[in-house]
A and B are shown apart, each in its own frame.
Chain A
Amino acid sequence: MTESAGPTGPAGGHVIVVDLGYGDAGKGTVVDWLCRGGGFGAVVRFNGGAQAAHNVVTPDGRHHTFAQFGSGSFTPGVRTHLSRFMLVDPLALIAEADHLASVSVPDALDRLSVDADALLTTPYHRAANRARELARPPGQRHGSCGIGIGETARYALAHPADAPRAGDCADPRALAGKLTLLRDRLAAEAGRRSGAQGGEFLDVPPVRDVVTAFAAFAERVALVGAGFLPGLLRAGRVVFEGAQGVLLDEWRGFHPFTTWSTTTFANAETLLAEAGAAATRLGVVRCYATRHGPGPLVTEDPTLELPDPHNRANPWQGPFRVGHFDAVALRYALDVAGGVDGIALTNLDVAERHRLSICDRYLHDGRPVRRLRHDAGRDLARQERLTGMLLRCVPVLGDPDGGWPSAVARAAAAPVLLVSRGPTALDKTPVGAGLRAGRPLVAVRAAAPGPR
């Protein structure tokens, strides 16, 4: 296999990879490329859970959709660390590990560490999620992905001390207690919502079976304390791999079409700060807009027929929608995420083969909108008004002046450091020296300019 891809050179800084759209921009392939270049010892997950779907294709044709393992796993020796901000699903984890073994990554579990404080997603969360969906009138179902991520986050907010965490798996008695309480509470809630008495989940496994499975997880996987990550960060370069996209952020996204997770750089920055470390902030964006399921997508253009092998409509997330490059949404994402050091621009091959436009402003009731105001608070009513406004906006489309990389760099007020023209690491080209290892890029951080 040719390994010409990836940054090379002496050890440099850590990198945070975050999607600046609605997800699906290609974070996985960017993380894979970074790791293939060598120099990175680990990938750290810092948000979301097993609902992530980061597709990586190797130059020799192997394909894996990364959900909990880091997308650097095809590179031998690269570890995965699931931080305390991750929602860990042990049952999905072993299925994913088995698939990785079938594509010649036999030791993924050996390269995994899990923060003992990370929340666990269980079959009871899934059952509660199903019950909640079924309780909604058919037309108003959210089409949630059904993994139980939302229920996991919700329960932990309501009962922080009782929520099962990865570390509990090493103590079957304590785990059994927490699981029983969890099951009974969620079942009772579901029963109240549906008006039934004495709610009880059907079709869930007994607690003892879940305990058995989770105990096997604890025996097989390294459960670590808070001191582990600082050590990992000292030992070598680390990629922080974000899940989903900034525009889906629980507080900054377009409510209610959001996720139960902080999708900005914030969690990664918290972990780095605890270790006294810093990282380059890399934002990933496609040459066109995409979105799974409902919610604002101002530049949507159903007449675009773009190839997208891994992101077709799926039963869990609804239709896969596409539209033109949305510079207004990008500027909003940069504003709420606090800016980036550079951009990884993906799917350039598609832009080079199809006639795609760039939207630099919207029209809202005939008035131009170049920038969406953002608010640092946690005001979901405000976010919902923003959503309502976006749903009435129409895009003003133009050509990307000077080609896609420079047009996107101008829109983002940040340099494009990497372009991608295909699914494998060999399709990635670094631009300039920005992503060459050894350059701490923090100095070039571009705060997005313009009115606030």
Chain B
Amino acid sequence: MSLLNFAELAVKTCQKLGADETEAFIQSQQIVEVVLERAEIQNERFKTQSGVGIRVIKDKKLGFAFASKLSKESIEETCKVAISLAKASVPNPEWVSLPSKERLPKTPEGIFDPEIANISGDEMLNLVINAYDAAKGYDKRVDIDDGKFSAILNEIVVANSHEVEAQEKTTRIEGYLVCVAKEHGETSSMAYEYDVSTILKEFLPEKIGRSAAEKALSSLHPKTVESFTGKVILDSDPASFILFYPVISSVNADNVQRGRSLWAGKIGEKVAASKLTVFDDGLMPRGVGSLNFDFEGIPRQKTPIITRGKLEGFIHNSYTANKEGRKSTGNAYRESYNMLPTVAASNFVINTGKKRLDELIAEVDKGMIVRRFSGNVRPESGEFSGIAKQASYIENGQIKHALRETMISGNAFQALKDIIDIGCEIRPTEIRAYTPSILVDNIQIISKQ
């Protein structure tokens, strides 16, 4: 039986058992993974996994059950559990319906690469060795601590009782290395570097190795500076976490509707500096979050979020959209088949500026650059504080030295308004935000002095 047959079986079975509506989501994955530990290749893994999540609605009551076993018996059993949970639940008066069938857009270009789908254990090892050698070869003072490289073939099927039927295969290859540099008995802070791509040819393990090594080296011999308020260049990773994690949270319609977003009712208002334009693009070619349908099986799209500093719109799944009688933006997402859909960004893209990193540095009279942030961000209020890692002090447009025991703090919503400039290179980060380096003013820089 194909995955689609299993999904159809689940929908049919639940409807027969008395469900008003049913949705089946099936995910199947094959993963080849190499793990580095204690400076060496530790292990290589082959993983095969699949599973089904079944959502049923009966009298506006929701039940959900899942199983990793795909067989006729297992699906029928899981359907029964989902129905019994729906019966035991409490009606949600705001429930409208599961989405109906819509014509899907063309599959975005470059989201499936047969070279990743068919990668061998040996090829995977070679990629890791390339990254490893690039880091070790960069400088004798550099040591690799740990890392992991994974090639993932992902197949997704969604079907529901309103004739939604969607199926697609995607691929992804990702890897990270953690390096430290050691000199004269001193160990640097941990430097992290990664890459992720849907296409094997665009995945650059050597770059991961070189860049991790360079970051570790540049954090050797750190000094402290006195606390001050100033300009900070946030590299892609910290910019994404500090600035855009609160943005994604605030434009998530579920948070807006639940009173958890300070941007509720602010569409059309200025929320950021005019240099900032952001959109969510579920159809972006080669995007790590791209697909022609979302995880409820309806079309993904390109949704404007912030245009030249003005708030344009929110992202929805079918539940939040139905509540407002509008169309979903195709942002239903699930971490895994064993979870219900939530609202999430697909590819959250920040428009690039014109400046290279060295040009951004040249703009800073007194401030710092932060390449890793180890801290906490409160998505509702925008408060952030944490340690600036691989951070360097900048004076008169030049990097002076690495920083030690230095924290930064501020408020993301204020920082969005205090954006001075935006870098010209973007990269996808952990929260699927394609983020450039961003220069922000008025950040608290804190040390013991």
User: Is the A/B pair a real complex?
Assistant: no
A interface residues with partner B (beta carbon < 8 Å): none
B interface residues with partner A (beta carbon < 8 Å): none
